[in-house]
Amino acid sequence: MKAILRSGFIALAIMGLAVSASAATERFGPFIYDPQTPKDLKLAGQIDLRSALNFRRAFDAHPEIERLYLDSGGGSVQIALIIADDVHRARISTFIGRSSRCYSACAYIFSRDRHGRLLAGSEYIRYPPKIGTQMMKTSR
């Protein structure tokens, strides 16, 4: 009887490990996908030269994504514009959390969604007044 109970506990422990392993978050460069919130993707970090490809890989792996949460100090404007176009085409909503930031190149991604939202607790404010980009320099 003890052997049966022990086998049962071992089986449950193995199943628990398998479930927790399958529920692990996935990273695609600065993008994080959490299967606990399958319609959400988070940009957490710098927008670099590989970020557009990483965004497309995340979206291809999880086409159910509907929301992009932004938390970035910026990075490459050119790459952010590509991501912004992908966000617009896929009709993904963008959000900036209360304790998050969206500076420089990140603002282009946020502004491409016509319903971009700044989260304030459980509420949101459309088009927040405090979001910014750097001035782009043109050559003559």
Query: Which residues, 6 or more positions from 119, have their beta carbon under 8 angstroms from its beta carbon?
Result: 95, 96, 97, 98, 100
Pick the CATH number of 25-126 from 3.90.226.10, 3.10.20.30, 3.30.160.250, 3.40.50.1820: 3.90.226.10
Tell me how crowded residue 130 is: count the other CB atoms within 10 A of its CB.
8
At residue 111, the pLDDT reads 83
Looking at residue 55, its amino acid is F
Whole-model pTM? 0.71
Domain limits, the chain: 25-126
Question: Shortest CA distance to 37 belongs to which of 68, 72, 60, 70?
Answer: 68
10-residue averages of pLDDT along the chain (140 residues): 55 52 85 97 97 98 96 94 94 86 89 63 41 56
Query: Both ends of the chain: CA-CA distance in Å?
Result: 85
At residue 102, the pLDDT reads 87
